[in-house]
Structure 1
Amino acid sequence: MDSSNYKIYHEDDFDARKNLEEYFSDKPEMVFKDDNMKFPIEMLTKTFTDGHITGDILIELSVSSTIHYLYAACEFFNHIIVLKANDRCMMELKRWVDERTGAFEWDHAAKHHAELEGKSDQFQDKGGKVRSSLRHVMKCDLKNDNIVDPIPLPLADCIIIAWFFEFISKNQDEFENYLRKVSKLLKPGGHFIVLAILGGTYIMMGTDKFHIFNYDEDVVKKALIAEGFVIDDCQVKKRTAVSDLMDFKGILFIAAHKENISI
Structure 2
Amino acid sequence: MDIAQALQSSGIAPIDAETMLAFILQRDRAYLLAHSHDAIDEAQEMRWRQYVDRRRTGEPVAYVIGQREFYGRVFHVDRRVHIPRPSTENLVSMALDFLSNPKDDVRDLETGIIGTAKVLRDCSAVTTIVDVGTGSGCIAITLALERPDLRVIAIDISSEALEVAKENAKRLGAARVEFLEGDLLSPLADLSDPFLLISNPPYLSDTANLSPEVKDFEPSRSLFAGESGEEILLRLGAECIQSPYCHGMVYECLET
TM-score strictly above 0.5:
no
User: Which structure is higher in helix share?
Assistant: 2
Instruction: Answer with 1 or 2: which has the greater Rg.
Output: 2
User: Which structure is higher in strand share?
Assistant: 1
The TM-score by the shorter chain falls in which range?
Answer: 0.3 to 0.5
